[in-house]
Amino acid sequence: MGTAKFWAVSFVVAAAVLVLTRGLIGNEYFFFAGYVVLQYIVLSTAWNILGGYTGYTNFGVGAFFAVGAYSSVVLHKLSSLPVPVMILVAGLTSGILGFGMGYLTLRLKGVFFAIATLALAIVAQTLIVNWDFVGGSRGIYVIRPQQAPLYGSYVQYLYSLMLILAWVSVAIARTIERSRLGLGLNAIRDDEAAAEAGGVPTLRLKLISTTLSGALMGMSGAPLPYYVTYLDPASSFNLSYAVNSVAMPLIGGMTSWVGPIIGAVLLGTIQQLATVTISSALNLLIVGVLLILFVVIAPNGIVGLVQARRRARLR
Amino acid sequence: MFSLDLAVNAVVAGLLLGGFYAAVTIGVTISFGMLDIVNIAHPAFIMLGSFVAYIVNSNFGVDPILIGAVMAPVFFLVGMAAYQIYFYAFEQRGEESIQGLAFFFGLLFVGEVALILAFGVDYRFVEAPYIGPSLHYGFVDLPLRMLIPCIVSLVMLGLLQVFLGRTFIGRAILAVSQDRLALQLMAANPSRIKRIAFGISIATASVAGALLIIIQPVEPSIGRDYIGRIFAICVLGGMTSFPGMLAGAMLIGIVESITATFYGPSWAPAVAFGFLLLTLAVRPAGILGR
Amino acid sequence: MPPLLEVSGLGKRFGGFVALEGIDLSVDTGERLGLIGPNGSGKSTLVNCLSGALHHDSGNITFDGRAIDGLPAYQRTRLGLARSFQLPKPFRSLSLVDNLRIPLLYTVNARPGARLSDGAISERCLALLDDVGLADKAGRLPRDLTQVEMRKLELARAVASAPRLLFADETMAGLSPSEVEEILVVLVRLNEQGITIVLIEHIMRAVMSFSTRLVVLVAGQKIADGAPQEAIRNPEVERAYLGE
């Protein structure tokens, strides 16, 4: 399926989901949970652009996510811009952060890059903790507007925005996958020196990857203040965002745009159910254990398992 | 605000802290510096060591350092088992660096969450006669709860240095770290040696954990602060060199201590990470070179 | 005609270790240059410095009349300076066709002039694979290849970038005599098509029969440079290979 056609088809699918869910489902909790699952679709798709496609493991997901959330906080305190604009601004700030991080760390390989991303996240968190304007370590309260644009509850509005963002990020991921850029990123992942020798401008492509990935992650965090109404560094920089962003693409499959969606829906739903029925600490344990199990037994994820079965049947 | 005895005490505390940081890092110097295994889950094993020390100490009153030493063989076995899984999943199948990283990351996370489920998020501490009193030399304070772990750490370092340099297995480990191919050609099985080395690296976590809970009360999420510290020290020290690692540990200890004293403890975690970023940007081979 | 590649005073150190010192070298268009030397003499370091994989510490490199000293590797490839790797470094998750597609997309299509369409690129990938006898494995992954086939893929990938000058770095190491012959045939054909080739090799028979000129490197210095038979008879070369 060509790229333009994919954008059109996926738009139709997303629009259908939006109309059906908002029209038919009355339970408000669905939209609370759905927001989180959609948010994870964006996060894992974004992570996978740098991780699965380019081969660079980013543990500093929390930094980009939180920077997106906090840029919304700043805008909220200084103005009354609508949330979609805040999302775009968050994309800008996180994109710049992604570019900066890439510039500083992309000469590093493997684990050094990963640790450096973690380091950046801690540094960013420390800066926010010490910034009183956004509440510092005490956190900040954000009041949800009374009226949602159009109709319905405010959470339904946030859910709708996140659905659109999920559609956009998935379409972007697939566009990259089928393009010259995607092939170049794969070459970098498989063998960076050989890619460079083959004419691939590795630094430039890596920077594009970190900037885009960071921007999308930041955008997924932009509506968060209105969703949680109380934002603090400890929760917004939480390492669980990193674990989820690694686990979901890995479990779903890192080589294609489908994998992060599978992983996000699967793990996101499990976690939402577990949080309600068991405890939130236990649900994090489940994610961690699943990550370890999959990485040992099925390192190419669910997509990988399906592909292997298909190949076996062909023989 | 700046006073001489405050500064001197900060430096002294930093040196003692640095000595302890060496105990925390030595395991990763072995697993990552020498064996090329990206064990970022090392802090999880250290936290396990702390909590084991807590359980035995609070129930039976045994000295924590003794617990750490006695439990070291158990941690050694756990380390060997972990290496087996790692070997089966990754080294046999060839280089898959993201999966290897994800594996240890998952381990780190599961370790922390498991501890939270078992012990909750409250701070835990141990009781020992040397937690509390300090030695005084003029205006310099030497809290015993920092001095003793520092000494134990240096002893452990010395013992490992001797082991690596003088015993057969120790030298085999050094050989593996330097030239995997040569060892294979000599028909020694590198994975058996690496398993032992990895076991040793985890055994050090048992002692390091015991030392940690002597220095400060612990709760499960403290492990995260140590990822950056450990790798910062490892890189600063040039990856494989023990003396370099010790120097790096002292440096970071001193800078953290001064930062915490004069700017407040909330900036301390950023110090090690900031150092790491600087070192990686400027001199990826570390202070004393590789 | 000026030389295609002009190197003067090239030096490279790693910490305290001097890998290359004062290397002067010139390669004319169409030449078949052999580069030999004992292990550790700096041959691969030289290739890495010239191709841009490493930064040289001193000296100048001019390619096609243009100073390329500060250029990153990918730009040197685009200018026409290609290299194959001693240990084959294929793109493991890509098919053979896609392995060749990379240099076509990122080098050939990046040069000023007509861009190849997707169809033309695919055709050329298959043609290149056919040239090295790998056309029937076009859709397979590198892990399905034998050692010799991997070497050929490595060569094909370097050739795909349509270079003016190709460094073939120990392409034949560990191959059987007939396999060495296969690779030599490919290299000669490439040279006849207009590609200047620098062959870095240990296999003396291959180097002697292939080269029109021989350069010998020992301990980071060039000790001989001339017609193959004469360079070999140089007493320093004999000493380096046979010992004192």
The amino acid present at B110, given as its one-letter code, is V
Our CA-based measurement puts residue A193 at a distance from the nearest CA of chain C, in whole angstroms, of 7
* Alpha-carbon gap: B87 to the closest alpha carbon of chain A (Å): 10
* Residue B109 belongs to some domain of the structure: yes
Per-residue pLDDT, B187: 58
What's the pLDDT at C213?
93
At residue B286, the pLDDT reads 44
Kindly state the percentage of chain B with pLDDT values over 90.
39
SS3 of A310, please? helix
Record: contact B109-A243, CB cut-off 8 A: yes
What 3-state DSSP class applies to B61?
Answer: coil
Between 3.40.50.720, 3.40.50.300, 3.40.50.1970, 3.40.50.1100, what CATH number should domain C5-90+161-242 receive?
3.40.50.300
The per-residue pLDDT for range B153-162, each reduced to its tens digit, is: 999 999 999 9
Question: Which value, in Å, is the radius of gyration of the alpha carbons in chain C?
Answer: 18
CB atoms within 10 A of CB C204: 13
Which pLDDT tens digit goes with each residue over C19-71? 899 999 999 999 999 999 888 888 989 999 999 999 999 999 999 989 999 89
Cα–Cα distance, B194 to B213 (Å, whole number)? 29
For chain C, domain boundaries: 5-90+161-242
Report, as an integer, the average pLDDT of C157-162: 93
B288 located within any domain: no
B25-B26-B28 Cα angle (round to 5): 70
* Residue B223 near residue B7 (C-beta atoms within 8 A): no
Can you give the C-alpha Rg of chain B in angstroms? 19
Q: Which pair of tokens denotes residue A255?
A: 């080589």
Judged against a pLDDT cut of 60, whether residue C111 lies above it is answered with: yes
Give the DSSP per-residue string, A164-224. HHHHHHHHHHHHHHTSHHHHHHHHHHH-HHHHHHTT--HHHHHHHHHHHHHHHHHHHHTTH
Does residue A193 sit at the B interface (CB-CB below 8 Å)? no
Strand B134-137 and strand B140-143: the pairing is antiparallel
**What is the total count of domains within chain B?**
1
Q: In chain B, whose CA is at the least distance from the CA of A296?
A: B89
Three-state SS for C42?
coil
ipTM: 0.91
Q: Is the pLDDT of residue B290 over 70?
A: no
CA atoms within 13 A on the CB side of A66: 30
Output the DSSP codes for B211-271: HHHHHS-B-TTHHHHHHHHHHHHHHHTTSS-HHHHHHHHHHHHHHHHHHHHHH-GGGHHHH
A19 and chain B in contact, CB less than 8 A: no
Model confidence at B91: pLDDT above 80: no
Digitized pLDDT (tens) for each residue of chain A, 315 residues in all: 788 899 999 999 999 999 888 888 888 889 999 999 999 999 999 999 999 999 999 999 999 999 999 999 999 989 888 899 999 999 999 999 999 988 888 777 777 788 888 888 888 888 898 888 888 888 889 888 877 787 788 889 999 999 999 999 999 999 999 999 999 999 999 999 999 999 999 999 999 999 999 999 999 999 999 999 999 998 888 888 999 999 999 999 999 999 999 999 999 998 888 877 777 778 888 889 999 999 888 888 999 899 888 888 876
| 3 state SS of B186 | coil
Q: Which chains touch A (3 or more CB pairs under 8 A)?
A: B, C
- Residue A302 · residue A251 · CB < 8 Å: yes
CA–CA distance, C78 with C110 (Å, rounded to integer): 7
C72 Cβ under 8 Å from any chain A Cβ:
yes
> Tell me, what CATH number does B218's domain have?
1.10.3470
Domain that holds residue B125: 4-282
Q: Is the pLDDT of residue B190 over 80?
A: no
Shortest CA distance from A297: residue in chain B:
B89
Q: How far is C244 from chain A (nearest CA, A)?
A: 39
Q: Whole-angstrom distance between the N-terminal and C-terminal Cα of chain B?
A: 41
Secondary structure class of B142 (helix, strand, coil) = strand
Structural domain contains residue B290 = no
Any CB–CB contact under 8 A between A55 and chain B? Answer: yes
Please judge whether A299 and B96 are an interchain contact, meaning their C-beta atoms are less than 8 angstroms apart. yes
Q: Pairing relation of β-strands C165-169 and C196-200?
A: parallel
Query: The tokens 């037994």 sit on which residue?
Result: A297
Burial B97-115 (b: 16+ CB within 10 A, else e): bbbbbbbbbbbbbbbbbbb
> Mind telling me how many Å the CA of A54 is from chain B's nearest CA?
11
